[in-house]
Structure 1
Amino acid sequence: MPPADDGEVPVATEKCTCTSPDETCSNCRRKSSSLPTSSSSCSLLSFDSYPVQDYDRLWRIFTASVKGFTIGAGLKGGLALFAILARLRRRRSLPSARKMEMVSGSEDVILAVKETVRYGLFLGTFAGTFVSVDEIVTAVGGHRRTAKWRALLAGAIAGPSMLLTGFNTQHTSLAIYILMRAAVLASRCGIKSKRFGHICKPLTWAHGDIFLMCLSSSQILSAYILKQDSLPPSYKSFLNKQGGKDAVILQGVREIACGFPFSNLDAIEKHYKSTGVDITLDPQMKVPCSIIHGKQTCEAHFVSFLLQAYKRALPVYLPVYLIPALIVHRQGLWKSPFSILAKGLLGTARSSLFLSMYCSSAWMWTCLLFRLLKRCNVPMVVMGTFPTGLALAIEKKSRRIEISLYCMARAIESFFTCMADVGYLPESKKLKRADVVVFSISTAIIMHCYAVERDVFRSKYLNVLDWVFGVPLPPYETTPRKKK
């Protein structure tokens, strides 16, 4: 049966073969209908879909807002909970003097609740705005006539909901990351295009994600050692924890790499003495290996650091795997909880190994290069941190592109911050919230691909998007609110 025009509902004319007195009962019409479901590759938001009349539009808007809020608050709240628990555990192990300097537990909880509500409102408003614009444009312009551009417009209008996370809070890294996700989807569309397929063919390189990670590592880890101010505060805190080195050690490496005279060798020696290592540093040293790992050899330091880094990485990835499992696999948890939890634990162990190997190899590669060339400078720090990205090969293929894009977003932000600090990029005074503009453009592209080019998404992402945005079902199917 061909699709009807806007405003028309196809009517089944076949006689019913069941025992129902009606000749065309809804069950038989649904069975005989060839209409796609909401999870099929044919998007019901696109111009190829069947027109939909029989569903509650207000209910779709309401449920999309609630589900968006649930995901935003759940993700942010879950991560905040694990962060609070980790901070409390760390607080117990500190001396009383250091405890007084830390923020109290009640203040942590209040801040976490505020952030949870803000991110819930952000995603809830985004989902509600997108669905509202989608429904309004459909009602005014028709379902099929507006299908090619409706999601693009709705995604762009919903983008400024990012401001709900804080009007004075910049989210440059998030905006760049979403932009790169949009670029990936656009490139996938280009790859399958006859017109642009040959241009986008290099993007199909099997190990492009690892190369991207190596590029990102050069900037991120160089900034971690040489210029931490170019990194966002939260990410800088993450690197300082996972990097496993005290600030005085990083300062010593930074001074020798930049050619500055040492100013804190005594502080470094005191730091090692506090850990039970009595060491005397040479002010004329050319290679900072003794600063990085004291009296240990580079090989022994790699092994010991790897074990310590693995313990630090486990709490990072537990919420990363646990929280999405509760959202994405919420139905499967009731049927096979042990299987899903086992996969989550295995993924946690594997990702923790990646992060610990990444941090350990960063010091290993730099030490190796310093010893081979018997010198330390800024270009060598950049080159030494490049092969660190090879650790991404430990992760499973489906996660590599996610991690590499996330790190590339951080690297791009750090790079342009460094360029602006040295005067190569004058700071713009007209556009204060460029992150919102970039985010809106990115969400417009992503939602357009979601509506028109659904096959460029992975199925798990489509399932979540369909669940949140409540894609209208075709006639004779269950509506988002009620059954016929």
Structure 2
Amino acid sequence: MSPFRDQPAASCNGVFHGDGGEDKRFCLDPQCSHSARCDHASSGSDSASASSSLFAKFDLADLNDSEKLRRVIIASVKGFSIGAGLKGGLALFSILARLRRTRFASQFASISLSLSLSLSLICRFKETLRYGLFLGTFAGTFASVDEIIATLGGHRRTGKWRALVAGLVAGPSMLLTGPNTQHTSLAIYILMRAAVLASRCGIKSKRFGKICKPLTWKHGDIFLMCLSSSQILSAYILKQESLPRSYKSFLNKHGGKDVAILQGVKAIASGLPFSNLDAIERHYSSKGVDIKLDPQMKIPCSIIHGNQSCTAHVASFFIEAYKRALPVYLPVYLIPALIVHRQDLLKRPSSILGKGLFGTARSSLFLSAYCSSAWMWTCILFRIFRRCNVPMVAMGTFPTGLALGIEKKSRRIEISLYCLARAIESFFTCMADVGYLPQFTKLKRADVVVFSVSTAVIMHCYAQEREVFRSKYLNVLDWVFGVPPPPAESPRYCKRK
């Protein structure tokens, strides 16, 4: 927030310096450095003092305006740096991974991959620029609307609702990522974050405390993860088109199974005749495994892991999954460390980097355990009941969420909400596809509306209920927007010498 808003209203010689909306004269005392308005200017002041005060008035007013403009510019630049940094960092790791694959490819394939890499580089650069503009515009718009409302309506009088309106107005900046680019997953995730903050406010409220009591359940995050996993992993096997493209690509990579295998499991779970057993056999043959699949099989274990036993498959899959997970979490921990802990990184780099590497190893363990347990639980259930159908797939993927217990407690709610957002999107897409929600697909840019409402709630909580935020998020928000004053205090328009 503006540097003029970090202290309560000041007084000069016992005289109150009021809010911006009060009509008081400027101080004429040459020993007073306040730019606020006060009453101790005597009516007998000479014209020279009055003229000097008049110039001081305009100079200080210009200073206030310049500080407000400075806040808007700084917020925009910092917002841009976060958006471009996060998106660009993820793109950089993706490109490095492709370069590694290109190095071991044949010459002909290398030329093809190099051309594809060049096109991908251009596309990623555009995405990085768009996301930087998106967050930069959001931050700048929020700061601008906040300052305009405070100037016109008074800081204290508008304090209870100003951030809510500013967050709502800044929300449509999402359109800068592309007018035809839907961000349903992001909008739902931000909505979940807003709901969590609102529920925390409700828990500490006397009026809604009892209603929100169930939200304080200690392991509620793990339950949400289990619930989300049931929908997400079922959709991964049975209806991948209901998942966002980027998330589907993520699951296909870390799920570790060829598309032909997933199609075979889908066929047996849906009660359809097999149409690609030859493709599955060829896939295993390319890996040196000679297998002949039974068209009359009741459970798909031989489709999932060939000649391996269920136990051996889980063990080997876990090792491979851990190798795939490590490159995912390196940017997740290292990039925020450069932004949030940028000052401490110079003072104690070994401690900060050590925590980052430990977090990377721990989160990679979670992801690998999550993916391998998905195949483990489904195999166990299939063998117990000797059948495979859609309810069995949903039930088998539910306990997969228990792997979230490996993660650090503070990260569990973040991961569960992230997955819940995608589960909700997938669920409603499935319902719309079967005709239960015919109007769902007709909504245009509902993601922008949901995102705007959610950011309004989040920014209102940031200005009025800061204690419901975790410290790491407050550090980032304060770095971008500045620290807002307590709700009942007026901004300081001046400084003491």
- The normalised TM-score by structure 2 is 0.85
Distance 1:205 1:73 in 2: 37
Are residues 374 and 261 of structure 1, via their aligned partners in 2, closer, same or farther at CA, if it must alter by over 3 Å?
A: same
Which of 32, 57, 60 is matched with 2:68 structurally?
Answer: 57
In the aligned structure 2, how far is the partner of 1:159 from the partner of 1:363?
40
Q: CA deviation at 1:98?
A: 6.2
**One-letter amino acid of the counterpart of residue 85, structure 1:** L
CA distance 1:280–1:430, shift in 2 (3 Å): closer
Partners of 2:101 and 2:134 lie apart in 1 by 31
1:93 to 1:366, Cα distance in 2 relative to 1, 3 A: farther
Q: Helix, strand or coil for the counterpart of 2:355?
A: helix
Correspondence for 1:349: 361
Partner deviation per Cα, 1:354-406 (whole Å, 9 max, x = no partner):
00000000000000000011110010000000000000000000000000000
Contact 2:226 2:400 in 1 (8 A): yes
Q: Give the aligned CA root-mean-square deviation in angstroms.
A: 2.5
Deviations 1:269-324 (A, max 9, x none): 11101101111111111110000001100000000000000000000000000100
Alignment-derived partner of residue 116 in structure 1: 128
Report if the CA contact (8 A) 2:267-2:273 is conserved: yes
**Counterpart for residue 241 of structure 1:** 253
Give the structure 1 partner of residue 96 of structure 2: 85
C-alpha contact (below 8 Å) 1:73/1:119 kept by paired residues: yes
Q: Is the 8 A contact 2:142 2:167 kept in 1?
A: yes
Quote the Cα distance in structure 2 between the aligned partners of 1:88 and 1:223: 31
Amino acid in the other structure paired with 2:461: C
Q: Does the alignment pair 1:439 with 2:451?
A: yes
Paired AA for residue 458 in structure 1: R
Q: Aligned pair in 2 of structure 1 residues 97, 404: CA closer, same or farther (>3 Å)?
A: farther
Deviations 1:314-337 (A, max 9, x none): 000000001000000000001001
Distance, in Å, in 2 between the alignment partners of 1:455 and 1:55 is 31
Task: Give the Cα–Cα distance (whole angstroms) in 1 for the partners of residues 409 and 93 of structure 2.
Answer: 26
Indicate yes or no: 2:417 matched with 1:405. Answer: yes
Contact 2:322 2:365 in 1 (8 A): yes
Q: Report how many residues are paired.
A: 444
Unaligned runs of 5+ in 2: 15-29, 35-62, 486-490
Q: Aligned residue for 1:19?
A: none
Describe how 1:42-441 pairs up with structure 2 within 5 A.
56-94=67-105, 104-428=116-440, 431-441=443-453
Give the superposition deviation at 1:11: 3.0
Distance 1:346 1:12, change over 3 A: farther
Long gaps (5+) in structure 1: 15-21, 27-51
Distance (Å, rounded) in 2 between the aligned partners of 1:331 and 1:170: 36
- Residue pair 2:8, 2:492 contacting (<8 A) in 1 also: no
SS of aligned partner of 1:286: coil
Contact 2:201 2:465 survives alignment (8 Å):
yes
In the TM superposition, residue 90 of structure 1 has moved relative to its aligned partner by 3.0
How much has 1:91 moved relative to structure 2? 3.7
Q: Is the 8 A contact 1:350 1:394 kept in 2?
A: yes
The code of the aligned residue for 1:331 comes to Q
Worse-superposed segment, 85-94 or 322-331: 85-94
In the TM superposition, residue 92 of structure 1 has moved relative to its aligned partner by 3.9
Please give the TM-score of this superposition, normalised by the length of structure 1.
0.87
SS in 2 for 1:164: helix
Partner of 1:10: 10
- Per-residue deviation, residues 213-271 of structure 1 (Å, max 9, x unmatched): 00000000000000000001110000000000000000110001011111111111111
1:116-168: per-residue Cα shift (whole Å, max 9, x none)? 10000000000000000000000100000000000000000000000000000
C-alpha distance in 1, partners of 2:433/2:331? 36
463-472 or 319-328: which moved more? 463-472
Q: d(CA) in 1 for partners of 2:315 and 2:442?
A: 51
Alpha-carbon shift at residue 353 of structure 1 (Å):
0.3
- CA deviation after TM superposition for structure 1 residue 24, in Å: 8.4
CA contact (8 A) 1:185 1:456 kept: yes
Q: CA contact under 8 A between 1:13 and 1:24: conserved in structure 2?
A: no
Matches of 2:76 and 2:289 in 1, distance apart? 57
Contact 1:63 1:470 (C-alpha < 8 Å) held by counterparts: no
Task: Check conservation: 2:88, 2:124, Cα contact below 8 A.
Answer: yes
Contact 2:146 2:163 in 1 (8 A): yes
CA shift, 1:23, in A, is 8.6
Tell me what 1:18 maps to: none
For residues 152-195 of structure 1, the C-alpha deviation after alignment (integer angstroms, 9 at most, x for no partner) is 00000000000000000000000000000000000000000000
